[in-house]
Amino acid sequence: MSVSYVLDQVRARPSAAVPLSSPLEPAELPTPALVLNRPALQRNIQKMAAFLSERGKGFRPHAKTHKCPLICAEQLSAGAVGVCVAKVGEAAAQIAGGVEQVLITSPVTTATKAQVVGELALLAADLNIVVDSVLGLQMLQRQLPQAARLGVLVDLDVAMGRTGTRSVETALELIERVAADARLTFRGVQHYAGHLMHIEAFAQRREKSLALWSSVAEMIAQVEAQGISCEIVTGAGTGTYNIDTEVDALTDLQVGSYIFMDEEYRQINGAAQSRFEDFEVALHVACTAISQPRDGAITVDGGYKAFASDSVAPVSDELAGVQFYFAGDEHGVLALPKGEQSVRLGQVLQFVTPHCDPTVNLHDYYWIQEADGLIHSMWPITARGCAW
Ligand SMILES: Cc1ncc(COP(=O)(O)O)c(C=O)c1O
């Protein structure tokens, strides 16, 4: 892969809003269409930002959820200390879209990706990346230009078994190597426990998350006993946003899905309710009823190419109790109660996404719905794809 070719491709992607010359009714959209309700988005951002700042915690939202520099700008203007991205490709797209404060939350281990990080570090004022192996760190060091500056965090794993090191010795060795390189600055540590985010019962989620954080705090204490300070201790997600704020060591939260909400999150318990409704559903996929193959079934024009299908089914709040079944790449079938004709052909229905992040990744644009209910603009999903 030629790094400059790939970066040029990413830089050529649109990132500015596209105003519509005349607003559209949601029913006029070319479906399936990803509809983002801007007032709900803004309320979610403000609510999370206020919740964290009242508890003395930083807001470092994860942009893997939305992949959109315009949304990063809204989060940064609400007080975010920076944004996270999952991968180097997402970082390239966000930086090309004008976002400067970025943390890449997955390690890299190849020369190609390290070279991209090196290029990006020359462009962004505050680029940071996690490391969890000496090999990965050395790869970055080999490719980083002399003039580049890169913040480094050590990724710690205590239970998830995805990325991160469980060894304090490895963490200390990485920190020592970072300290010896003038281009690098040790910023702190990351711990993310994604496997806990959707535990249904709040009390159980809380107990497990706090237990893991207490192991992380012990690892941090061993690092700090060597006279090293961790300026940043980052992690957490939407499922533990109101749990992990209890952790003294944690400096900022990497919350992602709260911004849109999805059916996976709606199905877990909130702190005091049976449904997790702390944030509003701001994102829907609009689909049109296009066929009625038989009584009791109606086909809509959204299937695997419109909704990520790695979890639950899409849900329409307009049609209580109606089950959606995937019917291939382009279609879904709604099972209507027998004899009921609550959906007519040509009708546009809004579906809550099963899992917001991979659903967003299937679309090129958000159709932006304003307070008057009309669609006024399109926002490009600049980092769509960019899974590298
Ligand atoms: C490292 C990391 N941090 C934060 C998040 C955000 O999680 P959520 O979308 O549950 O808020 C994710 C999501 O997968 C993640 O991988």
Ligand 1 pocket, residues with Cβ under 6 angstroms: 62, 65, 84, 105, 192, 194, 197, 237-239, 254-257
Determine what percent of the chain is predicted with pLDDT higher than 70.
99
> How does pLDDT run across 6-35, given as a tens digit for each residue?
899 999 999 999 999 999 999 999 999 999
Tens of pLDDT, residue by residue over 299-350, are 999 999 999 999 899 999 999 889 999 999 999 999 988 767 789 999 999 9
pTM > 0.75 = yes
Q: Residue with the nearest Cα to atom 5 of ligand 1?
A: 237
Task: Indicate the residue among 214, 233, 266 that finishes a domain.
Answer: 266
**Statement to judge: residues 156 and 258 lie in one domain:** yes
Q: Tell me how far apart the terminal alpha carbons of the chain are, to the nearest angstrom.
A: 12
Domain assignment present for residue 8? The answer is no
State how far the Cα of 261 lies from the Cα of 238, in Å rounded to an integer: 9
**Residues, the chain:** 388
Q: Is the residue at 300 inside a domain?
A: yes
User: 282-308, pLDDT tens digit by residue?
Assistant: 999 999 999 999 989 999 999 999 999
Is the confidence at residue 80, as pLDDT, over 70? yes
Q: Which of 189, 190, 197, 216 to mutate to test the pocket of ligand 1 (most atoms within 8 A of CB)?
A: 197
Instruction: Identify the pLDDT of residue 321.
Output: 84
CA of 280 to the centre of ligand 1 (A): 18
Range of the domain at 133: 38-266
- On the question of pLDDT at 98 being above 70, the answer is yes
Closest atom of ligand 1 relative to the 236 alpha carbon: 4
The pLDDT of residue 124 is 96
Within a domain: residue 211? yes
Kindly state whether residues 346 and 203 are assigned to the same domain.
no
Residue with tokens 């944690």: 250
Together in a domain, 204 and 333:
no
Separation of CA 351 from chain center = 19
For residue 240, report the distance from its CA to the centre of ligand 1, in Å: 10
CATH number at residue 292: 2.40.37.20
- If asked whether residues 50 and 144 sit together in one domain, one would say yes
User: Which ligand 1 atom minimizes the distance to the CA of 194?
Assistant: 14
Average pLDDT over residues 37-49: 98
Looking at the domain assignment, is residue 182 inside a domain?
yes
260: in domain: yes
Q: Is the pLDDT of residue 95 over 60?
A: yes
Ligand 1 atom showing the smallest separation from residue 105 Cα: 1
Predicted pLDDT of residue 175: 98
Mutate to test the pocket of ligand 1, among 48, 62, 132 (most ligand atoms within 8 A of CB): 62
Q: Are 375 and 24 in contact (CB under 8 A)?
A: yes
Share of the chain above pLDDT 90, in %: 95
The distance of Cα 14 from the centroid of its chain, to the nearest Å, equals 20
CA 90 / ligand 1 centre spacing (Å) = 14
186-227 per-position pLDDT tens digit:
999 999 999 999 999 999 999 999 999 999 999 999 999 999
Model confidence pLDDT, tens digit, residues 157-184: 999 999 999 999 999 999 999 999 999 9
Residue 387 located in a structural domain:
no
Lookup result for tokens 């419109």: 306
Query: What's the whole-number mean pLDDT along residues 45-59?
Result: 98
Confidence label for 1 from pLDDT (cuts 50, 70 and 90): low
CA atoms within 13 A on the CB side of 190: 29
- CA 95 / ligand 1 centre spacing (Å): 20
